[in-house]
Amino acid sequence: MTEQVARAQTEPGIADQRRAQMLRAALEVISERGFADTRIADIADRIGISPALVIYYFKTKDQLLTDAIRYYEDTWYAEGRRRMEMLPTAARRLEEFVAMNLLPDRNPDPDGTALLWLDFWVQAARNPSVAAVRRKSDERWRDVLVTLVRAGQEAGEFAGIEAPSFAVLMSAMLDGLAVQLALRDPVVSPQRAFALCMSFVAGQLRFAWSPAGVGPGA
């Protein structure tokens, strides 16, 4: 195996960089204009290339958008895992999990991509391949939650409630609150959503939590 080939497998070539650049541009455009109003030309314009090149890389628009969704989910998940692993206790991890979803300054989304998941839900509802991506993503996160809760229970931090049902309820609450925030509900600020959710979670799992912990900047 020559060194050149070895490099091709490990270092991202120009093609991979281009792909990633296009995917990121796609996410930005989708977030700004909405999934349905995203045109290939918008994405090409954003990085100063021709629309034909986008098709050259992704074959069809549909493929590009599906890949973009996958790229988004993977990036988000990786970052989430990374943060979890840095925290010592189950309670701190749970808090980080809620904060990632509800507090803008702790959200791992790339800049200006705040509405993406909402658009993705709509796509998932009618497009089977998007639905599959979402299903896998949901599963992953629910596993994270269940594992996290069980670890807390074993460590004596949390009460012994049924973890899977709790994971469903908590996911639903996070999603619901995130929708309110995304649609700029006037009575729900990020801080309030965060506090409400943490109170709910702490109540269910019987661990001590007070909003003071969030700090004034949150």
- Would you tell me which residues interact with DNA (CB under 7 A)? 13-15, 18, 38-41, 48-53, 55-57, 59-62
User: In this structure, what DSSP letter does residue 35 have?
Assistant: S
Q: How far apart are CA 72 and CA 94, in angstroms?
A: 22
Position 33 contacts a second copy (CB under 8 A): yes
For 111, phi and psi rounded to 5 degrees? -55, 140
Residues in the chain: 218
Binding residues among 105-164 for a second copy as defined by CB under 8 A: 115, 118-119, 121-122, 124-126, 131, 134-135, 138, 142, 164
Question: Which of the choices DNA, a second copy, none does residue 165 contact, using the CB cut-off of 5 to 8 A by kind?
Answer: a second copy
Report, in Å, the least distance between residue 168 CB and a second copy: 6
For 194, the token pair is: 């965060």
Helix (H) or strand (E) holding 164: helix 163-182
Q: How far apart are CA 213 and CA 16, in angstroms?
A: 42
Q: How far apart are CA 59 and CA 25, in angstroms?
A: 17
For 121, the token pair is: 């839900």
Position 24 contacts a second copy (CB under 8 A): no
Binding residues among 43-82 for a second copy as defined by CB under 8 A: none
Question: Which of the choices a second copy, DNA, none does residue 8 contact, using the CB cut-off of 5 to 8 A by kind?
Answer: none
CA of residue 73 relative to chain centroid, distance: 6
Q: CB-wise, 79 or 138, nearer to a second copy?
A: 138
Residues that bind a second copy (CB under 8 A): 33-37, 115, 118-119, 121-122, 124-126, 131, 134-135, 138, 142, 164-165, 168-169, 171-177, 179-180, 182-188, 192-193, 196, 200
